[in-house]
Amino acid sequence: MGYGQNRLSSVLDGKLVEEVRYARVELTHAFSPGYDVVDFAPMEAPVFLRIFVLALFAGEPLKDAEIALAQFGARVRTGPNTIEIDGGHELRGSEFSVPGDASSAAFFVAAALAVSNSKLRLANVGLNPTRTGFLRLLQEMQAKIEIVPGSDTGAEPVGEIVVETSDIAGMEIGGHWIPNVIDEIPMLAILGTRTRNGIRIRDAAELRAKESDRIHSVATNLRVLGARVEEYPDGLFVPGQQRLVGGVVDSFGDHRIAMAFAVAGLFAAGPVVIKDPACAAVSFPSFYDLLNQVRA
């Protein structure tokens, strides 16, 4: 098991404890009586899913957690700003289709935007609004992205994403944007070199505690490829209108760093060699095969 996987495990375990404590949960007794409230907005999917599963089997309700397993028979009630999940109920099996992950699709969206004369259609992508902030953000930067809704698959809206090479304006990304684009920030930072005005990222200190220190990883690798980068404790600034050169970059055992710089290799002036590229298999085993198909 590589560093990135070990880091992922430790990060999630630490976040789970942090969120459970924030929820006023008694760790030795699963959940205290009554409702426990969790602010799930800044939480990663694996973390709030684990809290959700705890709620199902703890025998007490959990309120304000993300619904992921409702179609398996969980008793769920929704209000204007809340979701209530009853604990202590047995789940049932269900057959359903799993749409493509929008966060994984982001690498191919970025490739199509950055590589000249490209047009790409991505089919059967999950379009849950909590996972498509990357697309909305790019649309604000004048990227040519069309979202074509399809039929819902179970609880998830699905559809197609059509993207073309674009002259992207760039912008400052922070505040309310961060929870919905946190996983795509490495790719956004690399895209910053292709924008008119650059991309500045703030309020994202959480990136330093991911599978790698992603702020440092991105800044280090971009500099290897000849880019100018300003690094902050909570983000970085990548000026626009920069031409990447080739070089040897380090994945730092982080799947998203490996995939993001593989995309950078598509529009760099020279070859980009990635140390430990195989770490991408942690989340996307077929990534390089698909990337080769798209570029063919």
- Which residues does the annotation mark as catalytic? 183
Q: Considering only CA atoms, which of 47, 104, 128 is closest in space to residue 281?
A: 104
Cα Rg of the chain, angstroms: 20
Q: Using CA atoms, how far apart are residues 211 and 280, in angstroms rounded to an integer?
A: 12
| C-alpha 104, offset from chain centre | 8
Strands laid side by side in the 230-232 sheet? 171-173, 199-201, 235-238, 230-232
Angle at 292 between CA 291 and CA 294, to 5 degrees: 65
| C-alpha 170, offset from chain centre | 19
